[in-house]
Structure 1
């Protein structure tokens, strides 16, 4: 099944994207939160004319030997059926400058190649396990 995404004109930098993953880690995240609908979050950014998602994710290497890290991928890849059972796009109720600032910060983390935090330690700012904690 192909994901139905909002028209390009409806997206904005800083929008949050959520997905319910299909893998083992997603099931573990969902088991930890009995009311949770989604297991993963990313932030929408613009790269040229394309809408991308920046997110910290394990087990989705971009190339052989790639480490688990903050990555940027097209929004269609983020929501592809191999990775997502369902999903949503949501807008933060904040001034657009705040949202654009969050998007810039997300891109900076991607360009720094920040590693995924497999210890899930919120006190460790050198690695990330959730882009929703920016």
Structure 2
């Protein structure tokens, strides 16, 4: 019984070590390359608004470990929608997808790339239940600031630092700056000394009473 309880933590330890070694965050576990969705073909999505929160279920070992430790959701990664020249993009922080200089920083990707078949086996879009004061637009603007500031991916998963961000932290802090606390400041605590003791898991955002489902693909 003790061994069974320790397995999720053991897998998480392996995943973090993999991240530190530069493991790709969206590698197909089967070893067979998935057929990617062409970036010029828009997936079947509803009209997206600034501030929409988009979740995806990744295909990597890291994604599997995240979901193993977060049984409240079937998604492992999240980003926030912003529009550039009328086109929706996703601001997100992810390991294993370095920029042209080899640095892992906050990314601004086309929606079709974010949910392409090689990176996502499923995805969902959520939206603020009530937004009469422009919270979503301000959150999107803050997320764009993170991108322009070229903030690094936070491998320490330290919710207290603002100069580095991981995916759920980015979305939470973007909305927090607009006046909305999506999680009520509830965090997950792990008894592991080499990780921060307070984490935001995807399920804590997806199950927020302040968000409603707009679209999900299966």
Q: Once the 2 structures are TM-superposed, how far is the Cα of residue 125 of structure 1 from its aligned partner?
A: 1.3
Measured in 2, the distance between the counterparts of 1:44 and 1:102 equals: 9
Match of 1:41 among 70, 78, 81: 78
Alignment RMSD, CA only? 1.6
Q: Once the 2 structures are TM-superposed, how far is the Cα of residue 66 of structure 1 from its aligned partner?
A: 2.4
Q: Once the 2 structures are TM-superposed, how far is the Cα of residue 46 of structure 1 from its aligned partner?
A: 0.2
Corresponding pairs, count: 131
Q: Once the 2 structures are TM-superposed, how far is the Cα of residue 94 of structure 1 from its aligned partner?
A: 3.1
Are the aligned partners of 2:89 and 2:108 in contact in 1 as well (CA < 8 Å)? Answer: yes
Per-residue deviation, residues 75-131 of structure 1 (Å, max 9, x unmatched): 000000111010011111132610000000000000000000001111111100122
Bigger strand share: 1
- Counterpart position of 1:23: 60
Match of 1:82 among 99, 118, 121: 118
Q: Which moved more, 1:19-28 or 1:107-116?
A: 19-28
Q: 1:5/1:62 Cα in 2 relative to 1: closer, same or farther (>3 Å)?
A: farther
Moved over 6 A (4+): none
- Counterpart position of 1:111: 148
Do residues 99 (structure 1) and 136 (structure 2) align? yes
Relative contact order: is structure 1 or structure 2 higher (C-alpha 8 Å, sep ≥ 6)? 1
Do residues 133 (structure 1) and 172 (structure 2) align? yes
Are the aligned partners of 2:79 and 2:92 in contact in 1 as well (CA < 8 Å)? Answer: yes
Measured in 1, the distance between the counterparts of 2:137 and 2:115 equals: 22
Q: What are structure 1's unaligned runs of at least 5 residues? A: none
Measured in 1, the distance between the counterparts of 2:130 and 2:98 equals: 33
Secondary structure of 2:63's partner? helix
